[in-house]
A and B are shown apart, each in its own frame.
Chain A
Amino acid sequence: MVGTETAQAVFHTRGLTRVFRMGEVEIHALRGVDMDLYPGEFVVLLGASGSGKSTLLNILGGLDAGTSGEVWYRGKDLSHASEKVLTDFRRYHVGFVFQFYNLIPSLTARENVAIVTDIARDPMTPEEALELVSLTERMDHFPAQMSGGEQQRVAIARAIAKKPEVLLCDEPTGALDSKTGIKVLEVLLDINRRLGTTTAVITHNAVISDIANRTIRLSDGRVSEVIDNPNPVTTDQLHW
């Protein structure tokens, strides 16, 4: 999916660090990350637990800020952006999917999507979004009435309904069994293909990198390896 002529990166980081201060201890979660994400690609961020994947994704998504270094989104400097700019960034440009779904339990599937489309610019309808994740039948169910996989698909529908430019997924399959997990990945790939949404998926499951265009490996807060995958496999060839 990557055109070589696409010079302009969606995300572009240089020397990005993040230090957490816990009382007297300093934790260097990121120690200078240089990384680019290109339009329309499907990237897997791979790495051991504690290697800084979530920290990186949170900074890219405007939930957190680095301690030093640069973060650019389509030529806009995120590292010095105001609270308001970051809120708008999340609101209009980024879709998030998390390990624990983070749905609003008091809202139905449709309403959980609507809560985002209500505030977005030119979104799909909640029904269209749920159709994309094949949940039309379960639209009026509450989270408590759905399985984990279904809840995660609602979360994906919620993330893509605003037609974001990027989709950031932090261990979207982490809480799911392998069969359900594969189904969720299939949905993500499908959306990446259909809408051209730049997608970054965090996992510590190396098998998943087979479906990606590119795999970026993090270890100990640095990019240790970038692997291009010219021939991604389809999800039905995946298993773990």
Chain B
Amino acid sequence: MRTLHIKLWRNLWTLKGQGGAIASVIAIGVAMFVMSFTSLDALRASQESVYQNQRFAHVFANLKRAPESLAERLREVPGVATLETRVQAPVNIQMEDFDQPITGLVLSIPDGQQPQLNRLFLRSGQLPDAHRTDQVLVSEAFAEAHELQPGDRLSVVINGRYQQLLVSGVALSPEFIYQIRPGDIMPDFSRYGILWMNRSAVEAAFNMDGAFNNLSLTLSPGYSAESVIAGLDNILAPWGGLGAYGRDDQLSHRYLEEELTQLETMALFLPLIFIGVAAFLLNVVAARLIRTQREQIAVLKAFGYNSFAIASHYSALVLVVVLIGSAIGVFLGVWIASGLAGIYQEFFRFPWLEFSVRPGVALAAIVIAGGATLVGTLSAVYRAFSLPPAEAMRPEPPANFRRTLVERMGITWLSQPSRIILRNLERQPVKAGMSILGIGLAVALVMLTGFMRGSVSYMLDVQFRLAQKQDITVTFNEPAAGRTIHELRALPGVRYAEGFRTAPAILRYGHREYRGAVQGYVPESQLFTVLDAELQPIEMPREGVLLTDHLARMLGIEPGDILQVSVQEGRRPELNIPVAGLVTEFIGVGAYMHRDTLTRLLREDDTISGAFLAIEPEHQSELNRRLENIPRIAGVNFRENVITAFNEAMDETVLMFTLFSMVMAGSIAFAVVYNNARIAFAERGRELASLRVLGFTRAEVSFILLGELLLLTFIAMPVGFALGIGLSWLLTWGMQTDLYRIPLVITPQTYATGALVVLTATFLSALIIGRSLAKLDMVSALKAAE
């Protein structure tokens, strides 16, 4: 047995090229797997730990105003463990050197103290002094965007009054891990911030002495949010309650969950594909590698080694490669994961990250990769072993060949080298098929990791150029009279303005519900268009509501069904509105109606909640200043900012992920093609050397080998394209959320990238193989056996 082990190491050394390629495929598969699960684990663990330690509330409620004494009654609602009241209010923030409007939310904390629930984590500085009314904590994301530090000053307009505040600290809250302005689709840290101030200061500024307008609570064990919500709503209704809601509807939590779900899809899907492809390749490559060892196995067998000894010998050989690859993969995966976690932290504002590697994850990856490799190895060893030694030791008898299909179809003008290529491929269709599938998968992986860019820009194009053409969206504090639109039209730089009415509402069908809004638009709108499945404009129907297709799927509702709408504003009517049709939207979901019909159902006169503006860009700064000084305007959104924010956010999460994947896909492509070439070279070496003997030049001989490689690659292209489309479709399908749905758009660039990466891999392999071809030993080819 010792000699056998010496042979093992020598074998390993002579096979180092292919072994290296196998090890790198394993490393990549394992790394992708470990990286995805580890970074996802980190986010999940951090979420849990932060929620727990910072006492993130279970139920939240907003109301118009209630006296603090009401809190006692609320605490008696069965299921309430801890309940804390707050005052919250919108603010406008002004920063020097930043000429665009910034909005924010001020939340109260007990004077100079940590709140009981949703406790703050101080990154720097300290809580406001209990006796001062001008100190403020700012959220970290906002502080970073404006380089704010404790001791800095901040100008705000609170309740129409200008005030100078002193930053006492920079804080993070479990309520704002995903810090996003309500109604936005992507965070914009420089234009939206969270501020915390002493309760007495906020009460004074908002005329809320001895009152509250917001509360949060934790549940006693055994109680569900639903039961408590019903009790709260009863008590809060007379005080202008806007409907209590659980974590599922808490903005940060919901978005965080959606993002995590999306990452989970990617984290599960991509690595599984990677490791699946790797496993497939390993199986094929290991099997072929062992086949080249045919004679050696026969000799060992002739000496009396039994099949178990030989099988374990080759398994050991393969396991060494698996272990080297896996070790590299685990380290690489953990390393990238820690980098990724940092990138995610930019986006998900966790006060701290729980980063740990589950041994199970690494183990699972190794078992999948190693198992596939071993199966390939053992089946090949078995086949080699079942040959009688005498037969296996002789040179393989000339294999059976026949004319290929193309020749039988009448194409007879082929050169002899072309015949060799075609007949070789056709003689072993399974092997050729495996090679094509392997190369095709490499193409597909590159496409899969690359198509997202094009899809995202298509998604933004449809949403912001085709459907929504307004430059600015203005939202009011409260619904205003329809004629307010003239005021906006008269502003400098406004080319055109259109009012819309949107009412927060719970949309229900059967037992499913969605917290959103019904939105009323003028039917002849020039700035807002709803699109059908073919992206053609749909006219806003007089009656009924149009739903985003994804929202309809979420609710399980179809055109013709009746949607229940519980409006959460004004007279809070319960409406039953038929679904008139579906609209295609890639970003957000909505329920759209004729504005007049909506106001009629709300039993209002002509009212608007905001307006779309088309502007002349050269007047933008002046317009900003004017808008900022209109008290009824609560928010101003710029289309370009939304697009930029979206692109940045995509860059930071999804695209980072895909960039890594792209590098890995490229390496896999190279490993596949190179191994194919290497094995083809081993199998054809003798034939090629014979041709050199007959006076063929190196170039002529290379044609036979590299021609086969290229032919396989070309056949693999369309196969890869088809696989790429399929896998990409699966990915977009798995990543659908109500925030956005990335459409499956595969641009010519995506195809080109897939083809290019694989062709480059082919070219590199050809170069390396070309060097071996130059060193081909003619004389040894004339001897009986290799």
Contact = CB atoms under 8 A, between A and B. Distances in A.
A61 B203 CA distance: 104
A101 B423 CA distance: 20
Best-buried of B415, B424, B694 by chain A (most CB within 10 Å): B694
Interface stretch (B14-22, B88-96, B392-400, B566-574): B392-400
Interface in A95-147: 96, 98-100, 102-107, 111, 114-116, 118-119, 142-144
Interface string A81-103: 00010011111101010111011
B697 interface: yes
A102 B780 CA distance: 12
A63 interface: yes
B691 interface: yes
A96 B401 contact: no
A71 to B, nearest CB: 16
Given A119-B695, A144-B399, A98 B427 contact: no
Nearest to B403: A108
Contacts of B398: 103, 105, 142-144, 151
A115 B693 contact: no
A190 interface: no
B690 interface: yes
Contacts of B70: none
B779 A63 contact: yes
Nearest to A55: B779
Nearest to A162: B695
A143 B420 CA distance: 13
A219 interface: no
A183 to B, nearest CB: 20
A102 B401 contact: no
A142 B779 contact: no
Contacts of A92: 695
Nearest to B400: A144
A88 B695 contact: yes
Contacts of A142: 398, 400-402
A104 B691 contact: yes
Contacts of A89: 695
A88 B695 CA distance: 6
A144 B400 CA distance: 6
B419 A96 contact: no
Contact of A106 (B423, B686, B695, B782): B423
B478 interface: no
Contact of A144 (B397, B690, B781, B783): B397
A89 B697 CA distance: 11
Contacts of B397: 144
B779 A104 contact: no
A41 interface: no
Contacts of B692: 87
A102 B692 CA distance: 11
A111 B417 CA distance: 10
Contacts of A61: 693
A114 B420 CA distance: 12
Nearest to A94: B695
B419 A87 contact: no
Contacts of B690: 102, 104
B427 A91 contact: no
Contacts of B424: 106
A235 interface: no
Q: Which residue, of B398, B402, B420, has the highest number of chain A Cβ atoms within 10 A?
A: B398
Contact of B401 (A90, A94, A105, A119): A105
B365 to A, nearest CB: 41
Nearest to B423: A106
A105 B784 CA distance: 15
Interface string B371-404: 0000000000000000000000001011111100
Interface string A54-89: 000010010110000000000000000000100111
Contact of B427 (A106, A107, A170): A106
A114 B416 contact: yes
Given A96-B694, A100-B784, A118-B415, A107 B420 contact: yes
A111 B412 CA distance: 12
Interface string B698-711: 00100000000000
Given A87-B697, A119-B695, A102 B782 contact: yes
Nearest to A146: B398
A106 B683 CA distance: 13
B696 interface: yes
B394 to A, nearest CB: 10
Contacts of B400: 142, 144
Contacts of A90: 693-695
A217 interface: no
Contacts of A102: 686, 690, 693, 781-782
A158 interface: yes
A65 to B, nearest CB: 11
Nearest to B686: A102
Nearest to A145: B400
Nearest to B695: A91
B679 interface: no
B784 A106 contact: no
25 contacts: A58-B779, A89-B695, A90-B693, A90-B695, A91-B695, A100-B782, A100-B783, A102-B782, A104-B420, A104-B687, A104-B691, A107-B401, A107-B419, A107-B423, A111-B416, A111-B419, A115-B416, A115-B691, A119-B695, A143-B398, A144-B398, A144-B400, A144-B401, A151-B398, A158-B694
Given A89-B695, A105-B398, 5 more contacts: A64-B779, A91-B694, A98-B782, A105-B401, A111-B419
In order of increasing CB-CB distance, the 7 nearest A-B pairs are A91-B695, A105-B398, A143-B398, A90-B695, A115-B416, A106-B423, A102-B690
Interface of B: 395, 397-402, 415-417, 419-420, 423-424, 427, 686-687, 690-697, 700, 778-779, 781-784
